[in-house]
Amino acid sequence: MEKTSSLEAAANGTPATRFNLGSFEGFNFRSQSAIERELSAEDVIGWDHDRQGEAEFWPSGDQAGVALVFRDQNRVTATELLALDRLLEELGGDILENFLKLRHTLSVSTTDLCALTGAEVEDLDIHIFVGPNLWDLRREAAYELFELYYPEAYVVWEKSQCDGLVFDTDRFLDSPGWSVDEVRFANSVALIVTPN
C-alpha cells in the first residue's frame, strides 16, 4: 500500500517528518490483529488511538538507522519518532553516523530520546568506523586513534626502524582507556569507540 506523503500528512494536520524514517509494522488491540498495511512514520505519528484503536508500532527494518536507534525497544511512539526527526535535523541529517551516535548516546545516557538534544550528542567524544570487515575496522580504528590521541608517540613509532617496536592494535583497543561497541547491521559492521 502507498505511504502517506509529507504533503498529505501536513494537509491532515499530522506533523510531517523531515527525513525518511522508513516503514513500520503495527498491532491493533481493538481488532486483536496485525495492521495489514505498511505504515509510514507519518501514519504512526497521526494514528488516532481513540478512533482507530489502541495500537503499538515498531520499525519494519527497511531503514537501517532507525532500526539501530530502536534496536532495544519492542515498540516506538509518535513522540519518539518526532524526537528522532528533530535530533537528526540538529545533527545535520539522516546519515548513518548520526544514527550510530544516537544509538550510542542512548545506551550510555540516562536521558531518553525525547529529552536528548543534538548538543548533548555532539559533546560526547565518539569515534565511529564503518566497514564490511571487523578485523580491518579494528586495525583502522586503532591506528587512527593512536595518531589522534598520542601524536608524539605515533610519530616515533612510525619513524622507527626497529623491528621490535610493534603496535598491537587489539591490545590498544581492548585497554581500559577505551570503550568499544561493535554494531552489526546488514552486510556491515560499525565500531563505536569512546575514551574512558
H/E element, 106: helix 96-108
Same domain, 31 and 60: yes
Q: What is the pTM of this model?
A: 0.83
Q: Give the residues of the chain that fall short of pLDDT 50.
A: 1-11
Task: Give how far Cα 143 sits from Cα of 59, 152, 156, 158, Å.
Answer: 36, 13, 13, 11
117: three-class secondary structure by DSSP: coil
Are residues 71 and 115 both part of a single domain?
yes
Same domain, 139 and 111: no
DSSP 37: S
66 shares its domain with 13: yes
In this structure, the answer to whether residues 117 and 183 fall within a common structural domain is no
Query: Which of 105, 123, 141 lies at the terminal end of a domain, its last residue?
Result: 123
Q: Write 122-127 long-range contacts (CB < 8 A, 24+).
A: 122/91, 124/194, 125/194, 125/195, 126/101, 126/192, 126/193, 126/194, 127/192, 127/193, 127/194
Amino acid type, 36: E
Question: Which among 123, 152, 167 is the end of a domain?
Answer: 123
From the number of C-beta atoms within 10 Å of its C-beta (0-12, 13-18, 19+), residue 15 rates as middle
- The whole-angstrom separation of Cα 195 and Cα 176 is 9
C-alpha cell of residue 42 = 507519518
> What does the DSSP 8-state code read for residue 74?
S
Are 110 and 38 found together in one domain? yes
Last residue of a domain, one of 68, 88, 123: 123
- Give the range of the structural domain holding residue 84, as residue numbers without chain letter: 6-123
Contact 65, 96 (CB under 8 A): yes
Predicted local distance difference test score (pLDDT) of residue 10: 44
Q: Are residues 133 and 158 both part of a single domain?
A: yes
Cell of 153: 608517540
Domain count along the chain:
2
Q: What are phi and psi of 72, to 5 degrees?
A: -95, 10
Tell me: do 68 and 136 sit in the same domain: no
Do 80 and 131 belong to one domain?
no
Residue 1, domain member (yes or no): no
